[in-house]
Amino acid sequence: MKGATQCARRVKSLFKSLRGRLGKVHLPAVGDPIGQLILGVFSRDNPESKAREALDALRGIVVDYNELRVIPPLEIAETVGEYSDIKTKSEDLSRSLNKIFLIEHIVSLDRLTDMSAKDARAYLDRIDGLEPYTHARIRLLGLGKHAIPLDEAMLALARREEIIDGKCTLGEAQDFLERQISDDDALEFFTLLRKHAWSEFGAAVRKGDVERINSVPPDRTSRNMLKLITPDDFAPQSVTAGMDDDGFDEIELEPRATKTSRKPVAKESKRSAGVAAGAAAPKRGSEPRKASASKSPARHRPAERPGSKSSRRSSSRG
């Protein structure tokens, strides 16, 4: 980052100033990474209190996060009600929950708690719909790992105080602050900075006069779409006989015959029926053939002509 040395000094100075000005603050609880994901999506450009109202509204219509995954984005938006950029936020939330379910077969990120910070970060990079702020918030407040998330108000304050480079991206700014603030001080620094930032830039955020945190659009490239197709999709389905998990016999119903398979069967049956009928009732005026498998029909000898050798032989014998 350009001017990193000067920015690092300003970070230390600002942290010390916030501690003296705001005193000891109540640190937020750490846990529930899926809940922090939802709060991250709804708090990137809104106060924490309003984001929690949206979370409570969604929790009120579902039993758990698995059920929230199957709710269409339009219904999510209607449940939350009037909210800034609610359609995009609902789509981001739906994409994120469905991607997690695709990987884990359940909507849960608890497995990331035992991962290293590097592995957890690489895992979250695979989740659709997570912009850098929500990504860092899950790591800090959901998993208790080292991160410094910056929402729109906090990013505006950081640029004004020149603790980051004026041209760096949100992700670069968060990574730089993460290197300057220790793991033990990360949660306190985040809490102090957020409280001061919203008191200074809350009105500007509501008016849209600050740098926006844009949603990450879905990756619809052919390479990414092909990754969603696995070899199991083309594997033949094997039929297993026996008992199912409930202890009942599995019954496989035969598929209905299609039109193309019915016609030849019908013609064959008619043809066989006609042959059978013809064999049972011969045609009028015709006699049934007499055939024997063991005896051959007798052959009549032709009449002897007079003067032949056989006739002279018989006459001489007489």
pLDDT reported for residue 213: 95
Instruction: Report pLDDT digits (tens) over 84-108.
Output: 999 999 999 999 999 999 999 999 9
Closest listed residue to residue 27, CA positions, set 195, 183, 173: 195
Task: Count CB neighbours of 39 within 10 A.
Answer: 23
Q: Which residue has the tokens 């779409």?
A: 225
Specify the CATH class of 4-207 in words: mainly alpha
**What's the whole-number average pLDDT of the chain?**
81
Instruction: Report pLDDT digits (tens) over 126-152.
Output: 999 999 999 999 999 999 999 999 999
Confidence of residue 60 (pLDDT cuts 50, 70, 90): very high
Instruction: Report pLDDT digits (tens) over 159-186.
Output: 999 999 989 999 999 999 999 999 999 9
Of the CA atoms within 13 Å of residue 67, those in its CB half-sphere come to: 7
pLDDT reported for residue 306: 56
**Does residue 118 surpass a pLDDT of 60?**
yes
Per-residue tokens: 136: 């860092």
Q: Would you kindly state where each structural domain of the chain is located, as residue ranges? A: 4-207
**Does residue 241 surpass a pLDDT of 90?**
no
